[in-house]
Amino acid sequence: MALIANREARYYTCAHNRIVGKDAHGNARIVPVKMILKPGVNDVKDATWLLVRTNAGLQRRLRSGMLEVLEEPELDNEGEVLIKDDLADATPTERIAASLGEMTIKSAKPLIRETVDVATLEAWYEADERKGIRDAIELQLVKVTKKSTDKD
């Protein structure tokens, strides 16, 4: 899985059309592949990431810093995805939680402030015992849950 940080305060959608063969009339059969990134860290399936990563709009956002690739799947010489042993059996939440542990508190705080997914914030809180990280997560959880309460 690829870990992609969306630093915008809105969702980002990227699409790619994949040709999967031909229909009975010999026309190309196309299946759209869509990737939706919430603000904060997102776990994207390898197959999806490998298809959409060359999208021109996505590349512009990566260059501008609006999006950041935190972890990308490694490929072997034949283009097959290599599975890392330490995270091979990890759930998406566990993978996201592990990503924050590799960052300094200073670099993690902006990412925490941009994350609106409660499950991600809670996973980070459980996985990281640093006071600065936990304080930032608690503050963001209050903001996120307050916004969802205000909408109800």
Q: At residue 78, what are phi and psi to the nearest 5 degrees?
A: -100, 5
| Residue 41: closest CA among 138, 117, 109, 140 | 117
pLDDT in tens, the chain (152 residues): 788 989 888 899 998 887 778 888 888 888 788 899 999 888 888 878 888 888 899 999 999 999 999 888 776 676 665 555 455 566 666 666 667 777 788 888 888 888 888 888 888 888 888 999 999 999 999 988 886 666 65
- pLDDT attached to residue 36: 92
pLDDT the model gives residue 12: 92
40 pairs with which residues across the strands? Answer: 6
What does the pLDDT read at residue 62?
A: 95
Mean pLDDT (the chain) is 82
Please tell me the predicted confidence (pLDDT) of residue 80: 61
Picking from 86, 68, 62, 77, the residue whose alpha carbon sits closest to that of residue 2 is 68
Count of residues in the chain: 152
Query: 0.95 cut: is pTM over it?
Result: no
Q: Are 120 and 96 in contact (CB under 8 A)?
A: yes
Strands 40-44 and 28-37: unpaired
pLDDT at 44: 87
DSSP code of residue 83? P
According to the model, what pLDDT value does residue 78 have?
67
- Look at residue 54 in the predicted model and tell me its pLDDT: 87
pLDDT for the residue 85: 46
